[in-house]
Amino acid sequence: MLLTSFPAGPLQANCYVVARGPGAGCAVVDPGMDSIEGVRQVVAEHDLAVAAVLVTHGHFDHMWCAQDVASQFDAPVWIHPEDRHLLSDPMAAISGESASMLRAQLGMHELPDFVEPADVRDASDGVVIEVDGLQISVDHVPGHTPGTVFYRVDYPGPEEISQVMFSGDFLFAGSIGRTDLTGGSHEAMLTSLRERILPLPDDVAVLPGHGGQTTIGRERATNPFLAELTA
């Protein structure tokens, strides 16, 4: 498997590219702010063909360049129906004050106009997305946003890892996603963690939307939010 990532934009959101190997079709996960050039470089370096854009949730730092990547490579964008409206209006997920702070941080008087990509598909719970030999499963985990999902794919490498999970802002090393933004729900977050994370095997690698990678086993043992659920 070919799997690479880079942090992009002022919030350093991780953008991932995954394929079965060089010269194959690939999925781009969470192409956030300033990620388009990084995607181009990875695709050119490994002779990849972008076959899908996977969005874990509709916050701007994870989908800012989804339209650009989809348009340039003629690829569909997958997002859960509950967050689909954020593709064309990502500021609906943050307060007016936060939007003003964002404009100031980026040095913009106005934010760019967002347009829904031409081909948007439902990353609904249980869907399996086929990407040139890879089968990427979708798990709906509301809490951070109503339409937050994580994506899982079997890992065929020699390491002791059974699957790779792209967790977005749902699960981090030592923490979980915030629930105080528009559409967030701490109760839903705890339910999602209990029902979707705790049953997973320890050898699932977790690749979050920010920061370094971890495993389910490590989080089960050290993440205080998961400890509350198992106490």
Range 30-49 average pLDDT? 97
Give pLDDT, residue 118. Answer: 95
**Radius of gyration over every alpha carbon of the chain, rounded to an integer in angstroms:** 17
Structure tokens at 138: 């979708």
- The full set of domain ranges for the chain reads 2-230
Q: Which pLDDT does position 109 carry in this prediction?
A: 57
Tokens 């934010």: give the residue. 111
Decide if 95 contacts 182 (C-beta within 8 A).
yes
3-state SS class at 119: coil
Q: What confidence category does residue 159 fall into, taking pLDDT thresholds of 50, 70 and 90?
A: confident
Q: Indicate if the pLDDT at residue 189 is higher than 90.
A: yes
Q: How far is CA 62 from the centre of its chain?
A: 7
Q: Looking at the predicted structure, is the pLDDT value of residue 222 above 70? A: yes
What pLDDT is recorded for position 150?
98
Q: Where are the beta strands (DSSP E) in 67-155?
A: 77-79, 120-122, 128-131, 134-140, 149-154
pTM above 0.75, yes or no: yes
Mean local confidence (pLDDT), 75-80: 98
Tens digits of residue pLDDT in 87-126: 998 878 776 666 666 666 666 656 677 889 999 999 999 9
Topology of domain 2-230, per CATH? Metallo-beta-lactamase; Chain A (3.60.15)
Helix spans in 76-160 (H): 96-106
